[in-house]
Structure 1
Amino acid sequence: MAAESAQPKEQIVDPWTAKAGEGEKKINYDKLIVQFGSERIDESLLQRIETLSKKPAHHFLRRGIFFSHRDVSDILNAYEQNKPFFLYTGRGPSSESMYLGHLIPFLFTK
């Protein structure tokens, strides 16, 4: 077996690689949630978003494309209390130009 095709002991998920760990067939999203300190996007959060926005939740959320979050509850609390808040994508040009990959967080933030 070639070294590059060997499965790592622990799963690897970073901007360049997504490989399941040894003995696993797919990425374990529960491990990622723990590793990155996020919270699962569950049905109650989706319901809260829909109740406050009076619109269906974004299809990235409904379809499970985004599966976890940080601080969405804080944003919803601020919205309920009519307090100002800002959404920031954290995305910027890789160089002097933008590329199609930048579109996903922009569309979601909009």
Structure 2
Amino acid sequence: MNPFGAHIRSLIMFLTKEELELKYSKAKNAFEKCINYEENEYLSDEIGFSVKDIIVKYDSVKIEYSYSSGICLTSIKVLLLSEKNERIGTFTLVEDDNEDIIDDILVFTSS
């Protein structure tokens, strides 16, 4: 018997290169929207240079299924780099299985 219940046939998911690019693009756009919010103007002071100069680099896409809730979440993570190519943080966009954004997480690493 399937340990995940009879209603689940497979937990294997495949993403094409194009689908990955779209997910990363969505995360990058969400990051740019986040740093452009008026209430986030302080972020440049926090990192010591303009947030507009941050370089966004693709990192990972993780798909998680919760057996207890039956919810599938996709986390798209991008690295945030300084102009000197130093890692200064991450931005993660979280989507539900309808590709609706349910959360975003901006974390700057301490220097």
TM-score by length of 1: 0.26
TM-score by length of 2: 0.26
The answer to which structure has the higher helix fraction is 1
- Higher relative contact order (CA closer than 8 Å, sequence separation 6+): 2
Larger fraction in strand:
2
